[in-house]
Amino acid sequence: MSQALGSDLRIDSTLTLNQVKVGCDVKIRVLSGPGCQRLRDLGFCEKMRLRKLTHGRNLICSMCGTRLAISRELADQVVVEPLDMAS
């Protein structure tokens, strides 16, 4: 059984960072694709928490107190899951 969150995501769902709504807090599940090393160089890693701030030509997210902009192509390689509201 899945529990619905206010962000219209479910605890058992996974999406790419591109698919997440602006303002949603998520946890990175896996980096998958040819840009993985570039993402790791920027500080993205599995289990990292982040918030999506904007969506447009480039996507801006907040991670560890830092705002980062990445392309939509890189954001498609970041598979995320919603944070449990209790954590």
Q: DSSP letter at 49?
A: E
| 7 in a structural domain | no
Tokens for 16, please give them.
């790419």
Rounded-to-integer distance, Cα 77 and Cα 31, Å: 6
Q: What is the pTM of this model?
A: 0.78
Rounded-to-integer distance, Cα 3 and Cα 12, Å: 8
Query: Which domain CATH number covers 24?
Result: 2.30.30.90
Question: By percentage, how much of the chain surpasses pLDDT 90?
Answer: 76
* Number of structural domains found in the chain: 1
pLDDT value of residue 12:
55
| 8 in a structural domain | no
Residue 86 has pLDDT above 60, yes or no: no
Candidates 73, 81, 82; CA nearest to 36 is: 73
| 3 in a structural domain | no
> What does the pLDDT look like over 21-55, one tens digit per residue?
999 999 999 999 999 999 999 999 999 999 999 99
State which residues form the domain around 61.
Answer: 15-82
